[in-house]
Structure 1
Amino acid sequence: MSGDPHPPAGAGLPPFTVSSHTLRALASTEPSAEGTRLVRDVRRSKRLLLLRAVLDAAPGAETADHWALLEEAERHDPDAARDVLHYPATGVWAEETLRRLHDPHGPAPDLGHLGALAAAAALRSGITFKTTLRPVHGRLVLPTLGLLRPDRPGPLAVTERSWETAVDAVPLHGLPGGRTALDDLDPYRAPSGPPAPVRPARRLTPKGHKRWDTQWSGALTLLRRYDAGRADEMGRLLRSVVPLAGGSRSSGATLPAAAGSVLARTQAPPALAATLVHEVQHGKLTALADVLTLHTADRTPCHWAPWRSDPRPLDGLLHGAYAHLALAGYWQRAALYGARGAWARHARVRAQVAAVLPALHGHPRLTPTGREFTDGMAAAERAMDELLPPGNQYATARRALERERRAWCENHPELTDFAEG
């Protein structure tokens, strides 16, 4: 099927033609120029479609004025304006606003935030402007820039000099070595309200920022040493990291509304590097699924996933296998550089992926495109045979996993058929 185009998923986005070459490059989880380009193009197209829907659902003079300021900023400095519009938190705001606009019984939409977006774009573009905004709880957040704390309550006139002359401005914290921000300021850095799967941390102290700088620098150093391609991919696809609240059970999370962002808790550099590799894959697969239908299964949790104790729906199983396939490749490369414990981690994670790939590939609700995608995943997993761990570590990991599968089946007898590969 090499070179054959794949049809779009029909989710409202403009048609995207995905060649078999690009599909299989993405399926391998290995970074590629065409895969990265597709992910970024899908995200941008989806964001513009979402913003257009917000504008159509919220006509009015104030909305029109804010949008006109955004357009003026884009004419002067397209990159600056688009960075604000495509910032991950902007997507969370847009989705939440659209839901509220269509729910007359729910909370009022925060249309004033569009003015903050416009002001941020105007400030970054360098144009002369004046707009009036309404701070919330004494704070005015300007996405990608930071926040202003006015010295008096009420509406605030914002001009091209407001940021540089502000006495009490708090800039968004930039992480070392690239354009990724550590976002502990934006009110839309993670979805709010039920169901909220994860909670972002509150604003960090300077000591908290310094700790993140140290851990991030260490993780980036490891990624560049062990897997330069993934380090480069992360720099291109990851615009912000949102610290998770203390006590979070998860080491990381990726939320579809915040495309280009990862939520993560503080952790040692080796663990943070692995978390970033893992979470970036979820973002890639989400973008691909926005334009291609990989399966038609529902959300019934019925499948064994060896990295979790609870049953998973097919989509969750696919996402988990995809992210762990990338981790297996990362740990294999790290092991070749002599990273302590990397061979054992590689063997364990690869065994997990290998255990569920047959069930994934044989699932009756996969589409032909989904089957080709899982074919590509399986080919990438088999290619790891070229560099097996020393001794019998991989075989040992597979035997241990088989024992875990049998135990899971005993605890979920009604789902035994879904644990067979």
Structure 2
Amino acid sequence: MTGPLTAFAVPSPLLRALASTEPSAEGTRLIGDIRRSKRLVLLRGVLDAAPGPRSGEAADHWALLEEAERHDPEAVRDVLHYPATGVWAEETLRRLHAPYGPQPDLGHLGALAVAAALRSGITFKATLRPANGRLVLPTLGLLHPPRPGPLALTERSWDPDDPATLPLHALPGGRTALDDLDPYRACAAARPAPVRAARRLTPKGHKRWDTQWTGALTLLERYDTARAGEVTGLLRSVVPLAGGSRSHGATLPAAPGSVLARNQAPPALAATLVHEVQHGKLTALADVLTLHTADRTPRHWAPWRTDPRPLEGLLHGAYAHLALAGYWQRAALYGARGAWARHARIRAQVAAVLPALRNHPELTFAGREFTDAMAAAERSMDELPPPGDQHAVARRAVDRARRAWYEQHPELAPYAQG
């Protein structure tokens, strides 16, 4: 876990606050700053690596972006830092540096520039080449050209009321988009199996998502206002998962600010959002701070998975589940049905893997401080325990599951406590 961005300092109090998973204005600001800095580095890398004649075309697109930024910096920033743009930038940079394989999609930089120009309101002219009879303009939507071939675009080319355009669907109550259009919303090379983005939804599908999203945000506001603010503050897009997906949700490291999620009932969706936002936070933190030096060998038990996990995966899982345990504890205090049982089970799972995390020999100093703060956050839940013996029952169930797992994986027993 090596951080490539060295300009950021993470003081100990802020590191411990982030480790607790509890939202804070300072933590949210840091995560946003890290994401923006990394995105600019990626985009600059794409521009510098563009070969031959393409470099001139890319430079023209970049010049249009700069002109738009002079008129409306916020609009351009939103386009450049849109989650799917990160997937495109990483994939394009990888292809530019690969001697063989698919060609990079440098034309997408033009789509970014045109989207930025349209949103900034400047007068411009640009020519782009639609793919398969469609042109996606990030943060705006989809444009169906009237005829094949290169498409001349001006400031009048986008009209949300024109039948030739399909605007990106905005979820109620904020700036989060339901993205079922952008070709890079879940790039095949970047997504973890078995995650697969849904095809474009019908209006009925959008309406169903509006209902579930509104319900999930209502529950978050009711039970945990701070986490509701964190979700809406850090999420720019939600990508619907295809039917049949085994996962309730997923986060792509290349698409910070986005969550892939199944359409699900509001209580489940609220929990998925809380869980996935933590993955995004920890991914950003890892870009500036080395928490461990372990390799990717899967050797650790995680009670929320059946397969062995590398230290990185165990840390991510424990961090996301720690947030879930806190969320369900608060929901239980407000009388949410079944919340105490969920809290007790998830907290017991986190508590069971914390020793392996904290004792791991390849943690850095920052990693030890981080996992120690996670453990402190887990212990603090004792202040508001579930009624009866639910916590003890949950711990016994997790212990049984751990023994059964190690009976199936005896070769991994030495890694049980780090």
Q: Which TM-score band (shorter chain)? A: over 0.9
The 8 Å contact of residues 148 and 166 in structure 1, kept in 2 or not, is answered as no
TM-score, normalisation: structure 1: 0.96
3-state DSSP of counterpart to 1:263: strand
Counterpart position of 1:204: 201
Counterpart position of 1:186: 182
3-state DSSP of counterpart to 2:287: helix
| Aligned equivalents of 1:327, 1:125: Cα separation in 2 | 39
3-state DSSP of counterpart to 1:163: coil
Q: Gapped runs of 5+ residues in structure 1?
A: 1-7
Match of 2:137 among 125, 135, 142: 142
Match of 2:98 among 103, 113, 134: 103
| Aligned equivalents of 2:28, 2:121: Cα separation in 1 | 30
Counterpart position of 1:27: 19
Match of 2:173 among 173, 177, 190: 177
3-state DSSP of counterpart to 2:254: helix
3-state DSSP of counterpart to 1:131: strand
| Aligned equivalents of 1:186, 1:238: Cα separation in 2 | 16
Deviations 1:280-312 (A, max 9, x none): 000000000110000000000000001111100
Counterpart position of 2:277: 280
Counterpart position of 1:37: 29
3-state DSSP of counterpart to 1:147: strand
| Aligned equivalents of 1:141, 1:350: Cα separation in 2 | 43
Q: Indicate the larger mover: 100-109 or 327-336.
A: 100-109
Deviations 1:132-191 (A, max 9, x none): 011100000000000100111011111101102743100000000110000000000012
Counterpart position of 2:108: 113
Task: Say if 1:194 and 1:232 are closer, same or farther in 2 by CA, change over 3 A.
Answer: closer
Aligned positions of 1:391-406 closer than 5 A: 391-406=388-403
Task: Say if 1:73 and 1:266 are closer, same or farther in 2 by CA, change over 3 A.
Answer: same
Deviations 1:214-243 (A, max 9, x none): 100000000000000000011110000000
Match of 2:287 among 287, 290, 293: 290
3-state DSSP of counterpart to 1:282: helix
Q: Gapped runs of 5+ residues in structure 2?
A: none
3-state DSSP of counterpart to 2:57: helix
Letter in 1 for 2:92: T
Counterpart position of 1:319: 316
| Aligned equivalents of 1:388, 1:350: Cα separation in 2 | 11
Counterpart position of 1:251: 248
TM-score, normalisation: structure 2: 0.97
Deviations 1:236-259 (A, max 9, x none): 100000001111100000010001
Counterpart position of 2:48: 56
The 8 Å contact of residues 122 and 160 in structure 1, kept in 2 or not, is answered as yes
| Aligned equivalents of 1:193, 1:358: Cα separation in 2 | 34
Deviation at residue 17 of structure 1 after TM alignment: 0.8
Letter in 1 for 2:288: V
The 8 Å contact of residues 359 and 417 in structure 2, kept in 1 or not, is answered as no
| Aligned equivalents of 1:14, 1:370: Cα separation in 2 | 17
3-state DSSP of counterpart to 2:242: coil
Counterpart position of 2:229: 232
Counterpart position of 1:418: 415
3-state DSSP of counterpart to 1:141: strand
The 8 Å contact of residues 68 and 116 in structure 2, kept in 1 or not, is answered as yes
Is 1:124 matched with 2:116? no
Deviation at residue 199 of structure 1 after TM alignment: 1.0
3-state DSSP of counterpart to 1:63: helix
Letter in 1 for 2:254: A
Task: Say if 1:10 and 1:328 are closer, same or farther in 2 by CA, change over 3 A.
Answer: closer
| Aligned equivalents of 1:157, 1:228: Cα separation in 2 | 47
Deviation at residue 420 of structure 1 after TM alignment: 4.0
Length, aligned pairs only: 413
Task: Say if 1:372 and 1:37 are closer, same or farther in 2 by CA, change over 3 A.
Answer: same
> RCO (CA 8 Å, sep 6+): is it higher in 1 or 2?
2
Deviation at residue 196 of structure 1 after TM alignment: 4.8
Counterpart position of 1:5: none
| Aligned equivalents of 2:132, 2:257: Cα separation in 1 | 28
Deviations 1:26-46 (A, max 9, x none): 000000111111100000000
Letter in 2 for 1:167: P
3-state DSSP of counterpart to 1:300: coil
The 8 Å contact of residues 141 and 185 in structure 1, kept in 2 or not, is answered as yes
3-state DSSP of counterpart to 2:158: helix
3-state DSSP of counterpart to 1:403: helix
Task: Say if 1:70 and 1:227 are closer, same or farther in 2 by CA, change over 3 A.
Answer: same
The 8 Å contact of residues 115 and 138 in structure 2, kept in 1 or not, is answered as yes
| Aligned equivalents of 2:402, 2:244: Cα separation in 1 | 29
Letter in 1 for 2:378: E
Counterpart position of 1:90: 85
Task: Say if 1:255 and 1:194 are closer, same or farther in 2 by CA, change over 3 A.
Answer: closer
Is 1:365 matched with 2:362? yes
Deviation at residue 193 of structure 1 after TM alignment: 3.9
Letter in 1 for 2:199: R
Q: Indicate the larger mover: 184-193 or 275-284.
A: 184-193
3-state DSSP of counterpart to 1:75: helix
| Aligned equivalents of 2:391, 2:22: Cα separation in 1 | 21
